Structure 1
Amino acid sequence: MGRRIELPSELGIIAKAQAGLVTTAQCRALGVSLTRVTGRLESGAWRRVTRGVYDTDPTPVAARHPDHRRRRAAFAAKLALGPDSVVVGACALALHGVWGLPMALEPQASLPGGRRAYSRDGIHARMFDGGMTVTEVDGIAVATPDWALVQAVPELDRFHAVGVMDNALNRGIVALDELDEIHARTRGRRGIATRHGYFGEVDARAESPSETRARLDCVDNGVPPDMLQVPVRDLSGVVRRGDLGWTLKDGRILIAEIDSDEHHDLAHLDADSERHNDLTAVSAVVLHFRKEAVYTPGAVSSTVRATLDAHNGGLS
């Protein structure tokens, strides 16, 4: 058996920057022949994404972190359509760091100048939107967040659409006064006819997509929260905030703390637990909801309703 020739370290650096992906041209530029690329593919070390684009990460895609999977979709579109392409839609939102997107994204990119590209291997080549503004993220051309929302919202379900708009506003990725213009630009796009109402459900106070999902569940089932990011003074006099709040008949506040989110790590959960103990001792009834509840339709709202009934004598 011949000695295995290691790949150039520069190729690993490129792959890491591109969510594990490399192209035939990048390999060739670093002296990696098509024969060596073919050997990697035949051994299973690499996988073909589309013509001329390869995934160098041996980890099954489904087992990777959601953020990595979304970035991979964005780079797959970019590399498939070539150096002049612009990443658009939900993939652009992923590169802008917007939370709340579906775990699996369709790779999408466009070519400027009215040039046409063809979709292949699950990669969607979109027509370039007239007037679309473009910026650079991670060294590649990407639709600006406002245009990415125009392109993505008509293709997302309600929970994801409202979630990404909430998050983009909450984190200042787009400004509140841009939302009406974003909505106006979606008019006439395929899919938007059934989604206009999503814009009226956006709330910039939501600090995570899971909070958005829990809020919408409560709205749908007749127990909309009275408050979001509820200020409550704890035992030490420090003002803390609860995620969703309802005023109880006795003057206390029912707070729903939403612990379930891919961006909610153990440190956050520990802090929430400490906050729960302090708030409960003072002036609040606190409910905690983890992932299973947040993603089960009716689970959050039914618990909130039962708790309101118990404290308000069935008057919820």
Structure 2
Amino acid sequence: MDRTDLVRVIASGQDGLITRAQALRAGFSRHDIDHLVTVGRWRPLARAVYLVRSRSIESPARQCRVRAAVLSLGPQAHAVFGTAAELHGIAGLPRSDEIHVALPGRAAKRARVSDPAIVLHQLEHPPGKVVQVNGIAATVPRLTVAEIILRERRYAAVSVLDSALNRGLIRTECLEVIAALIRGRRGAIAARGYLAEADGRAQSPLETRTRLRCVDGRVPPDALQLEVRDDDGYLLGVGDLGWRGPQVIAEADGRDVHGTVEAASPTAAPRIAWSTPAGPSCVSPGKTPSAPTTSPGRSARHSSPPVLVDHEVDGSVDHQKARQPHDQHHWWWGQ
């Protein structure tokens, strides 16, 4: 295999990236590498890291840039904090261009970082606390979550915990381990409260945010992912939040937006679709709930539900709880 093919093979497993050291080992000279960069065939993405398919890629993907940052800082470098969460698929944090990378003591002091997007942290993590995620070194999910909740405020911290639990990256019993990991550290008192509020049944950060807003408004839901069935046991739907007593369910963001960037953003305003025995309705800012638009038992999800801002959520829950049924349909509310 000639040197060009060897570089292509290496780069194919690294999002199209090659380090200067890897290219030298493949048989390229320093002059060869500099020439390829000068003529635009290789594009520098980080210190001594190049994108070898630069002409076919206008804007490298986020994972490619994260990998470049980690590769540029040597074999001990690994992603931490929000960048590690991003690699693991843990949602709940605001989008950021920053790439958080850690190096142990002396290595961090010697490192030279020219990219303003790379945030270098001097942290010691034993080998067992670092794993490969798509070939990129990152802290394990449990440690990632523990370090994030010490730094973030309540809504973002609980959203991260819920997301990690929902994806099965940590288990409920891991919460006690996380509490032990953060003991005595700055921010630990608040973080222990976040651990107590975590619930892996939340399927998106917007669901978590809506639940917390209801708790703050003293109308906490008594069920999450509540199944609603008719007298024959037919599943009518599943509500993100439920209040069994008054028979109220709420869909925090709808199936159509669960997978979008907006759904993953903790700063996005909740979209609320309500359903009660009186029928489903939607709530818009500053307005009372609309009259039922479908018969009871039909889906309360809407393709473009109105936006309900934070300070209106709890009041709207109270309004929905006060609605009276318009007919005699019976629903069976799951346990």
- TM-score, normalisation: structure 2: 0.67
Which secondary structure state, in structure 2, belongs to the residue aligned with residue 258 of structure 1? coil
Which secondary structure state, in structure 1, belongs to the residue aligned with residue 131 of structure 2? strand
For CA contacts below 8 A with separation 6 or more, give which structure has more relative contact order.
Answer: 2
CA spacing shift, 1:92–1:22, aligned 2, 3 Å: same
Which secondary structure state, in structure 1, belongs to the residue aligned with residue 101 of structure 2? strand
Rounded Cα–Cα distance in structure 1 between residues aligned with 2:119 and 2:173: 33
Question: Is the 1:214–1:258 Cα contact (8 Å) retained in structure 2?
Answer: no
Question: Is the 2:14–2:135 Cα contact (8 Å) retained in structure 1?
Answer: no
- The code of the aligned residue for 2:307 comes to A
- The code of the aligned residue for 1:157 comes to R
CA spacing shift, 1:115–1:132, aligned 2, 3 Å: farther
Q: How does 1:243-258 map to 2 (within 5 A)?
A: 243-247=240-244, 249=246, 252-258=247-253
Rounded Cα–Cα distance in structure 2 between residues aligned with 1:138 and 1:238: 42
Q: Quick check: 1:306 aligned with 2:319?
A: yes
1:182 to 178, 184, 197: 178
Q: Quick check: 1:242 aligned with 2:239?
A: yes
1:172-196 per-residue CA deviation (whole Å, 9 max, x = no partner) reads: 1111101111122123434445433
Q: Quick check: 1:107 aligned with 2:99?
A: yes
Hey, what does 1:159 align to over in structure 2? Answer: 155
Deviation >6 Å, runs of 4+ = 289-292
1:50-95 per-residue CA deviation (whole Å, 9 max, x = no partner) reads: x22356585557xxxxxx53x3564244212212323333322222
CA spacing shift, 1:166–1:38, aligned 2, 3 Å: same
1:130-183 per-residue CA deviation (whole Å, 9 max, x = no partner) reads: 585232222343322111112222223322221121111122111110111112
- The code of the aligned residue for 1:224 comes to P
Hey, what does 2:307 align to over in structure 1? Answer: 293
CA spacing shift, 1:15–1:304, aligned 2, 3 Å: farther
- The code of the aligned residue for 1:94 comes to E
Q: How does 1:115-194 map to 2 (within 5 A)?
A: 115-118=106-109, 120=113, 121=115, 122-129=118-125, 133-194=129-190
Q: How does 1:1-316 map to 2 (within 5 A)?
A: 17-18=13-14, 21-28=17-24, 31=28, 33-40=33-40, 46=43, 48-49=45-46, 51-54=47-50, 56=54, 59=58, 68-69=61-62, 71-72=63-64, 74-104=66-96, 106-111=98-103, 115-118=106-109, 120=113, 121=115, 122-129=118-125, 133-233=129-229, 237-239=233-235, 240-247=237-244, 249=246, 252-259=247-254, 260-263=257-260, 281-283=295-297, 286=300, 293=307, 296-311=309-324
Q: Which moved more, 1:79-88 or 1:168-177?
A: 79-88
How many residue pairs are counted as aligned between the two chains?
A: 280
1:220-244 per-residue CA deviation (whole Å, 9 max, x = no partner) reads: 2332212101011159743342111
Q: Which moved more, 1:31-40 or 1:156-165?
A: 31-40
CA spacing shift, 1:308–1:141, aligned 2, 3 Å: same
Mind listing any 5+ residue stretches in structure 1 that lack a counterpart?
1-6, 62-67, 266-271
Q: Which moved more, 1:51-60 or 1:181-190?
A: 51-60
CA spacing shift, 1:188–1:40, aligned 2, 3 Å: farther
CA spacing shift, 1:123–1:190, aligned 2, 3 Å: same
- The code of the aligned residue for 1:79 comes to L
Which secondary structure state, in structure 2, belongs to the residue aligned with residue 128 of structure 1? coil
Rounded Cα–Cα distance in structure 1 between residues aligned with 2:11 and 2:223: 45
CA spacing shift, 1:258–1:199, aligned 2, 3 Å: same
Instruction: Point out the structure with the larger helix share.
Output: 1
Question: Is the 1:88–1:108 Cα contact (8 Å) retained in structure 2?
Answer: yes
Q: Which protein shows a greater Rg?
A: 2
- TM-score, normalisation: structure 1: 0.70
CA RMSD across the alignment: 3.9
Question: Is the 2:248–2:321 Cα contact (8 Å) retained in structure 1?
Answer: no
- The code of the aligned residue for 1:244 comes to L
Question: Is the 1:28–1:34 Cα contact (8 Å) retained in structure 2?
Answer: no
